[in-house]
Each structure stands twice: as structure tokens, then as C-alpha cells.
Structure 1
């Protein structure tokens, strides 16, 4: 599945990715091309989540902060001493990760083009750092699917003296003629220093000839090293891929600990169960204003579930929170919830008509119809999830309500789970389930001079409550307008026309 820019932005997934902190170029590349775990890949996803859980446990154990009771990641079977040693090893791994440079481009070269000295330095630096990381990694409990192909022979080639210094030079041992030539050159340079400047000409010419010969020998060595190193190309690339995966796993673990995320369980019956789900981007925005996010509970079964409720009641946030949970789970992340049981979909989509420019100059209504049609055509024979925000609100109410009802019926006939918000009556009659925002239920006095948005927030109960099919949509527009201090004359005309 393609995680488009629009989907990442609208769901808040990009916000999460921006707070991910891989330390190596390979981890950053892995974060840009996340694996999507679809139906049939449950075992692979569980392995990834096991790895994240292990990294969470060890990272948590390695902190000096007071330990919380569990980390939402599941048990890791280690004794206290083992956990302490493994936590230190993980810190050793993370100390190595930022030291790597991206050398993939060096191995994408024309045949016969030798590595230059800078490239050889970078390759040796990579090998020395990799050896240090692999030694630390070996002290960890094994992570599923992560192994480092041996590059010991390549390291010996690049470090024939065994000093393990992250530097490189063409040492004498690479060619039998280098040592005597360099000795002669050094002797000549000493003679040059001891000779009057006006008599150095013949000596300088001899030095130039030796330097040219030395360059030829070094080129010969570089060609030899290039040929031998290129034989290890796939092992180098495989190690870089493993480094990227390991780096990404640690970054996922640190993110989950930072935001108190929970490991998702995988659903066996295509249903979604979310308890205490939250949207971290909205939660952070609210916290900056001194407000608190209302945790949401949702149970979604195959077919289309409908959410109705007051304007400004958080219906769109509930869609975004659900989609974000699915995207995170299917990319191997822990989710922002107290608990989550989720199935794996071939595709997850969020259709917000007002999220950006229309397709080919279409109106908001035209855009959402275009996106829906594209989704239905591309998911034939697939299990998919779609969230739709007030679908068909951009056309006349009679036709819009009819189209919304027709869509709910049609989605119920497909292999999908769908979630739709609406203000149209009659849509929930044909839905698989119906939720309503609790709404403007709090009676508060004495805040008439406060910011209108805060007045609404104080009175709004954002919880999603199960509602019977066909329950009428709430009629809160008049009260919302009054709280927003709409012009008095207009309000009188509005109320008289109801």
C-alpha cells in the first residue's frame, strides 16, 4: 500500500514520523520506506512488534528514571542481571548508530572504476564501526529476523595491521614495492632538506619520478582493493539494511515509551476494538491550551459504522484517531491507546473532502466522489478500511442524504470495515452500528466573557456513545451559533425559521 503524503498528513501519521528519531542514515532511509504488513503477514508483524517490545524493555531498563509498572509492550523473559547487561549492550548499539556514514553510493559504480582514498576511508570506517556494533548486538537477546552477515574478511583486508583505527592509508604491506620505494623517497626528501635551494633541481626531479611511481603503485592497490571489496557488495548492502531495521526498531521503541503507547493485538474476526484511543497531535495542541483530550472507545465490525453528533464535537478527530491507529499497527508501531485489537487490511484510506485541492479542479463534493470511486475500483477483491468525513455534504441535502444511505448499504456488501460521520438523518438506519457524540450536555454559567471556542469545549462531552439505529442527528447548530456569538439579528431570523 502507498502511504501518500495526503494520507500521512490527514491522519497525523506524518506528525508521528516527524517525532521518530533514527540515528543512522540507514535508519532514516528505513523510516522513509516503511514496510506495510498486510493480510497474511501476521507472523512477520508479530516478529516486528516482539522486537520493538524487547527494545522498549531494554531501553526502559537502561534509564535512571524510576521504572513504571510495565511499558505496555508485553513480558520479556530475562532475569534482572540479564536485563541489566542487555540494557547496557543496547546503549552500546545506539552509541554506534550515529557514527555510520551512508556508503551505498560507493558500491554503485562502473566496472573498473577504483575506489578513491576518501571512499576507502569511509568503507574502513564503516567496517570498524560495524564490528563494534555487532559485538554489542551479540550481547542482546536475539531479535527476530535481524542478523549481520560477516564482513570479517573485508575488515582484515582494510585493516591488515589489525589496529582497528577508523582511518585509512595505503600501507606498505599492500604491495612489495611500496616499502623500498617509500624508503628511497624519504631518504631523498631528507637530502633535499639538507641541500641548498639553488642546487635542489636534480634531487627534486628524482623525487617527482618516485612520487609518480608511488601513485602508480597506490592506484594498483586501489584497483586490487576495489575488486576484492566489490565481491562483498551484497554483504555490505545486507548489513546496511539490517542496520536500518535495527535503528528503526529502537526508534519505534523510544517513541512508544515517550508517548506511553501500547502493543496492538491482531484481530481474528476482521473487527476493530479500540479502548482509550487518542490522537497525539490533537492531544498536544489541547495540552498547549491547558485542555485535555477525551479518550475514545470504538467497536467496529465489517460493514459501515456511522457517527453523528454536534458540530465541533470531535467526529473528525475520531476518524483520524482510528485511521492513525491502523496505519501505525500495519507499519509495525505501537499505537496511541490503552488497548487495541486490529485486523490487517490491504488498504486503509481517509477521505476528507476539504483536506486539499480538488482532483483536476473538482469541487469538494467532486473530489470525495472521485476519491471514493478510485478506492472502490482499486480494492476489488481486497479487504480494506475507509473513513469518510460527512460524505456528500457538499451537494443538496436530499440527494446527499440518499447518496450517503446508498454508500452505507454498498459498503456493507463489500469486504471492508468503514466509518462515516454524517449530519443526515436516516443514514444510521442502514448502518452496521451507530455512535453519537455525547454533545453539549454540560450546563455552565458565568463564563459569558470567555473565548467562544473555550465556552463550547467546556460544555461539550466528546465521548462516543452507542446509539440505536435511526436515532435522529443532534440539533445543536443553534446553540453552537449562540455560544460563538453570532450576530443577534441573524440569530433571531435563524431561530424564527426553525
Structure 2
């Protein structure tokens, strides 16, 4: 989602990577409200031209925070730093005028005209810096003298070297004076840097929210609830293949929720999507859903994928257990977390695996921790909320199901589960994938014997 943001300036790209994880209701509401206001501005056809002009200006903004730090510390600036500051200040003034003229107030940019005037004594208003003659009559006269002597072939080189030295000393003195004149505006310069980055990020967030059809989440005190939540990345991939992503509804109340379903039923995608939405929310972003009410958490604790660590020599199960133990200790320490665990204990034998799943579900439910745990094990007896991905639509599969259209015949929506068993779809999926029929027939025989 960050990569998809159309950030214009290098400054904003770096600031974006340092945005804080928001922990309070007030912080999140403020950020979401600013995004909403920017969306309304972006949708206003009368402001399209202004937004385009602002984006063009933002493309030219450089990250001059290093120069700003030297100003704050009252250090003398060199020509490059003075040029950077002048160019930045000119852009800020241009963007400020565009915002004022269009009555856009999502950010407020300080007036840097005094800085521009200091660095542009000739009022040329171009992004170029030079120690101008206008800064000093003495400097102007010295430059004329040096130029004249250079044109005379009989000029003593030592005399010329002395004049060049005096010229350098005089220029350095002027740079120090300019730096001293700029120092009183250190707060305004740093404010401009922060607000220019904020404006750039807000415009990018607004555009993303409109194009991806994201929603403004509400803050919930208890249950996190999503209507038609979707995974933007998977949705985009499916769209390129001419397929449609099925959004789902899901509620996450305090306590554990077990999600079961056949392989390929999208359980892992559900966890990743919920993790994404929660994280976006706590950074003040719109979320991928039609409607969302989200409870604040201190952290999203995700345990998903192959946990095997070749470097440490640990097996998948050992690594998973260590990760699980870290999560349990965080919960015991009182951390308010959203816990998402995919196929818990899948790499050990079913008897012990089911015991671990039951224990974790009991523990998290007892602690009232919002958590989703997926599993393919049958016989989970823990007293928790249980949901199941509907899976294959039986009346649509006869004679038409192929490896290329399999997604069209799976219903990814979640329903409440009252049974302890999980769907047996492995044989059907294996046949669709083209696994050898003789092998599968033998497997079916063993399955019938066990049943």
C-alpha cells in the first residue's frame, strides 16, 4: 500500500517511512479527518487544475532537512545550502499561493518571503544562488577591480592572488551574515518542511483512497467489524487475470475466533487482509472495505507462513512455538494486541497439534484478546467463536471446474460453524490440480477405510 502511494517529493517519501504508529483515538481521528478533507478537495472538479499544479511543484521539492538543522544550530551555510534553501522557499511560496487562492486549508504553510528576499536581493525569483554584488558595494567594487586586472597581461600575479584572497574572505563574511539573517526563521523553515511533506502524503492518500475505493474507518470500543473487506494486492492480481475478488464480512470481538475451511479457501488471505487493515488504520489511513469499525490495539502480532529458520537450525515447529511463546508472554504482560495465527501447529502430529490449538484458543478467549486462528484440524473443542469459509459451491462444480476457473466455484464468505469437523476437500482439489488418478484412488480407499 505504501508503494502504491503516488508521493511526489523525496522529502515526503522519507517522512512517510518515519510516520508514527498511532495509539490514541484523538490522533487517529485527526489524521482520518485530514484525509477525508483532502479526498473532498481531490474530488472537486473545480480544483483539479490547482491540484495538478501543486503536484508539479511538489515534484521539485528536495529534502533539505540537513540544511534546516544547520540553520537551527546557527551555523554558517555554504553556497549549496543557501541555494537549496532559496529553491525550497520559492516552491513553498508558490504552493502557499495556490492553496490560499483555492481556499485549501488541509495544511498551513508559513510565509517564507523574508527568507526569499534575503537570498534574492535582485528580486529575480529564480532557483539560483550567488553571492550577489547587491549584498555589498565593497564586494562589487572588488570584483570590478579583479576583472579589470585579469584583462591586463602585465598585472602582477601576487597582486591578483591577494585580491582573490580578499574576495574569498569578503564572500565568506557575507555568507555568515546571510546565515545570521535567516536564523530567526528557523521555526518557519522547519514548519514548512513538515507541512509540505504532510500535504504531499495527504494528496497521495486521498488519491489512493478514491482509486482503490477505500473507506474511512470508525473507531470502536469493543468489536472490530468489517463489511466487504478486501485485499488490494490480491484484488489487483485477479483483475489482471480477468477474475473478481470476493470481499467478505468479518467481526472480531474480544476473545479467540477459530476459522476453518478447505485448502485454497483463502484463510491465509483473510489474516493478511485483517492485519493490513488494522495497521493502515493505526497509521491514519483509509482501509480496504466498504465499511469498517475498528478497535485500537497496541500491536498486531502475526504468525503466518513457514517459520523454519535455517540459520538457527530450528525446525518449522520449533520456530513457530518460540514465536507463539513470545505472543503468549506479551498477552500475559497486558499488551492490547490483535493476534493472527495461521494454521497453528500444522507441522506436528494431529493429536498434539489439536491439543495446542485448543489450549491457545482457551487461553486467548480467557484473556479476552482479539484473535483469529486458522486451522485444518477437526475435533477442536475449545469454547470460542468458530467460523468457516463456505468453500466449494457444490451445485456449480459438475463438469465445469478446471484449474483455471477454480476460484469462481469457491464461496469465500465466512459462516458460523457449529460442527467440530472441517470440510474434506483435499481429494477434490488434488484431482483439479491434475494429480495422478491412480495415486488419488488409493488415497480414497484409505480414506474410506478410516471413515
Write the distance in 2 (CA, Å) between the matches of 1:358 and 1:428. Answer: 34
SS of corresponding position for 1:202: coil
Q: 2:307, 2:320 within 8 Å by CA — same for their partners in 1?
A: no
- Are 1:185 and 2:146 counterparts? yes
Equivalence map 1:27-426=2 (5 Å): 27-38=12-23, 41-62=24-45, 84=46, 86-108=47-69, 114-139=76-101, 141=103, 143=105, 146-189=107-150, 191-192=151-152, 200-202=153-155, 206-268=159-221, 270-354=222-306, 357=309, 360-379=312-331, 380-426=333-379
How far apart are 1:393 and its partner, in Å? 0.8
CA 371–150 in structure 1, closer or farther in 2 if over 3 Å, else same: farther
Write the distance in 1 (CA, Å) between the matches of 2:372 and 2:70. Answer: 50
Aligned residue for 1:457?
407
CA 410–165 in structure 1, closer or farther in 2 if over 3 Å, else same: same
* Worse-matched range after superposition: 106-115 or 298-307: 106-115
How far apart are 1:473 and its partner, in Å? 0.9
CA 361–230 in structure 1, closer or farther in 2 if over 3 Å, else same: farther
Aligned residue for 1:80?
none
Q: 1:438, 1:464 within 8 Å by CA — same for their partners in 2?
A: no
SS of corresponding position for 1:276: strand
Write the distance in 1 (CA, Å) between the matches of 2:393 and 2:412. Answer: 9
Write the distance in 2 (CA, Å) between the matches of 1:237 and 1:357. Answer: 45
How far apart are 1:385 and its partner, in Å? 0.3
Q: 1:456, 1:480 within 8 Å by CA — same for their partners in 2?
A: no
Taking structure 1 as the reference length, the TM-score comes to: 0.82
CA 446–376 in structure 1, closer or farther in 2 if over 3 Å, else same: closer
How far apart are 1:416 and its partner, in Å? 2.2
Q: 2:22, 2:28 within 8 Å by CA — same for their partners in 1?
A: yes
Write the distance in 2 (CA, Å) between the matches of 1:483 and 1:152. Answer: 69
CA 419–186 in structure 1, closer or farther in 2 if over 3 Å, else same: same
Taking structure 2 as the reference length, the TM-score comes to: 0.91
Q: 2:4 aligns with which of 19, 25, 41?
A: 19
Q: Which runs of 5+ in 2 are unaligned?
A: none
How far apart are 1:443 and its partner, in Å? 3.4
Write the distance in 2 (CA, Å) between the matches of 1:277 and 1:427. Answer: 27
Write the distance in 1 (CA, Å) between the matches of 2:425 and 2:56. Answer: 56
* Worse-matched range after superposition: 135-144 or 470-479: 135-144
Write the distance in 2 (CA, Å) between the matches of 1:52 and 1:206. Answer: 64
Q: 1:358, 1:367 within 8 Å by CA — same for their partners in 2?
A: no
Query: CA deviation digits over 1:78-119, x for unaligned, max 9?
Result: xxxxxx3x5544334322211111222234559786322122
Write the distance in 1 (CA, Å) between the matches of 2:38 and 2:69. Answer: 33
Write the distance in 2 (CA, Å) between the matches of 1:345 and 1:88. Answer: 40
SS of corresponding position for 2:171: helix
CA 96–112 in structure 1, closer or farther in 2 if over 3 Å, else same: closer
Write the distance in 2 (CA, Å) between the matches of 1:112 and 1:58. Answer: 39
Write the distance in 1 (CA, Å) between the matches of 2:299 and 2:289. Answer: 21
How far apart are 1:359 and its partner, in Å? 8.0
Write the distance in 2 (CA, Å) between the matches of 1:440 and 1:394. Answer: 29
Q: Which runs of 5+ in 1 are unaligned?
A: 1-15, 63-83, 193-199
SS of corresponding position for 2:422: coil
Q: Count residues in correspondence.
A: 445
Write the distance in 1 (CA, Å) between the matches of 2:265 and 2:395. Answer: 13
Write the distance in 2 (CA, Å) between the matches of 1:359 and 1:177. Answer: 69
How far apart are 1:215 and its partner, in Å? 1.6
SS of corresponding position for 2:29: helix
- Are 1:439 and 2:400 counterparts? no
Query: CA deviation digits over 1:365-421, x for unaligned, max 9?
Result: 222222222233335222210111111111111111011011011111224210111
